[in-house]
Amino acid sequence: MTTTTEAPADFRAFLDRVDDALDAMFTGDPQPYADLWAQRDDVTLCGAWGTVEKGHADVTRTFAWVGSRFSDGTREREEPDVIVVDGDLAWTVGFERGHVRVDGGPLAPMVIRVTHGFRRVDGDWRLTHRHADFPPPDPRKTQDS
């Protein structure tokens, strides 16, 4: 098993492609992100806006819906907090931060916690899972001491 500093070069290169694709999603173009997903029936999405999907067609159709809601966005590039590669499987855990206009509203900050799952398919890395949510307040920080 490898961690952040030891991730293979081909996986690191794929993470760069994911970053580029997420930048496009923030501007309203979901296609580059959808193109990185394995065309399998067992890919899954637990989306930040409550969508839960299984299968390539349903997952990528949801990305089209999400992308149609975004415009004028910019995303901060940051290293995931966790990167693990174990053979042909990998996962990352971290945050997506930026500013985006949703449904034509004002440009506003957006922070999403994200876990991505990856699998090597026919020798190439592909996305296979995304779980994202809007992080709730940490109750430990709101309690009176």
Distance from the Cα of residue 51 to its chain's centroid: 14
pLDDT value at position 144?
Answer: 57
Residues 116, 92 contacting (CB under 8 angstroms):
yes
Specify the pLDDT at position 76.
95
Comparing 143 with 9, which gets the higher pLDDT?
9
Task: Say whether pTM exceeds 0.85.
Answer: yes
pLDDT tens figures, 43-95: 999 999 889 999 999 999 999 999 999 999 999 999 999 999 999 999 999 99
% of residues, the chain, pLDDT over 70: 94
Number of other CB atoms surrounding residue 109 within 10 Å: 8
| Residue 63 and residue 53 in contact, taking contact as beta carbons nearer than 8 Å | no
- For residue 3, pLDDT over 60 is answered with no
The amino acid occupying position 112 is: I
For residue 43, give the nearest of 31, 33, 55 by alpha carbon: 55
Domains contained in the chain, CATH given: 4-135 (3.10.450.50)
